Structure 1
Amino acid sequence: MNLFKYLPLLLALAVPPLTASAAETLTKPNGKVVLLISGGISRKNQGDVAAFDMAMLSGLPQRSFSTHTPWYPGLTKFSGPLLRDVLAAVGARGKLLKAVALNDYKTDIPFEDVSRFDVILATQMNDKAMPVREKGPLFIVYPYDSREELRSELYYNRSAWQLKSLQVH
């Protein structure tokens, strides 16, 4: 019997457990915590929540798009991780996100939005970090110009700026 014939199969069976256990960890933030995610999540790094600093968010794949908004004149460029990637990093499962801002503004975002649209958790606007007075440090931004339906109060109201936490329900 030629064991080399079965080597690829044996390796394929050995890799998933290693990958799965590595995926279950979420590093702890080293810098100032800018986002807390709680509720229906499987990966936590600070008690019952997942805490992120800017470096952790910057470590996720980054996206950029330019879009018109009701808050800024002309095209504005936003950059940051896709909200779906942030949620995947914490193993989020649910039907609804409650976004909470620094001023305690709250808005509900259906989970469907993050898979249907390329919603960004913006950490930069026009290639610069966003201070609190500029709607930062985190801003949930939809690609409003990509679809007519996104240019409405419904989606503008889901675009929480000065985001501090997400609750997964």
Structure 2
Amino acid sequence: MEKIPPPTSPPILEVRGAISRITTQGAAYFDMEMLRALPVARLETATAVTDGVRRFSGFLMRDLLAHIGARGTTVTARALNDYAIDIAIEEFDRFDVLVAYEMDGEPLLPSDKGPLWIIYPRDQHAELQDIRFDYRWVWQLRWLDIQ
């Protein structure tokens, strides 16, 4: 296993499972500074839980998965409240799925869907406006498990 430098502040995201780059104990841990070092991506889209079109900034899920050497077919995304859903990794190649840390230029806070929120480009793809995709918009994202 190749090592990723450890976070210098408390981690906000833990990734486990079929990955080839880890921090320690079989997992990759990231603080906000490490996540902000990934290539920045931006997306404007409406959501099912906010009013109007919002501007999101973050990183593409596929960039994170490449960074940790993910070797699976499914990502289980789990939130701080233990909500979890399985997402096919193929979706992250097919769509520009963002892991947002900002909305409308402001950091996402744990009290309002933060610090990380999975955002699909629903306005750019009619098929993503199906309610089945709304369940994949995990807010307060804290853990990913790659299988």
Residues 45-75 of structure 1, C-alpha deviations (whole Å, 9 max, x = no match):
0211000000000000001111011111101
Aligned partner of 1:31 in structure 2 is: 9
d(CA) in 2 for partners of 1:93, 1:153: 28
d(CA) in 1 for partners of 2:110, 2:85: 18
Aligned partner of 2:41 in structure 1 is: 63
Determine which structure has greater relative contact order: mean sequence separation of CA pairs < 8 Å that are 6+ residues apart, divided by chain length.
2
Aligned partner of 2:50 in structure 1 is: 72
Q: Is 1:155 equivalent to 2:133 in the alignment? A: yes
SS across alignment from 1:158: coil
Cα contact 1:26–1:89 (8 A) shared by 2: no
Give the alignment's TM-score, normalised by structure 1: 0.85
Identical-pair percentage: 41
Structure 1 runs of 4+ aligned residues shifted over 2 Å read none
Structure with the higher fraction of residues in helix conformation: 1
Equivalent residues in 2 for 1:86-125, closer than 5 Å: 86-125=64-103
Give the alignment's TM-score, normalised by structure 2: 0.97
- Across the aligned residues of Structure 1 and Structure 2, the Cα RMSD in angstroms comes to 1.1
For structure 1, list consecutive stretches of 5 or more residues without a partner in the other structure: 1-23
For structure 2, list consecutive stretches of 5 or more residues without a partner in the other structure: none
**Count of equivalent residues:** 147
Structure with the higher fraction of residues in strand conformation: 2
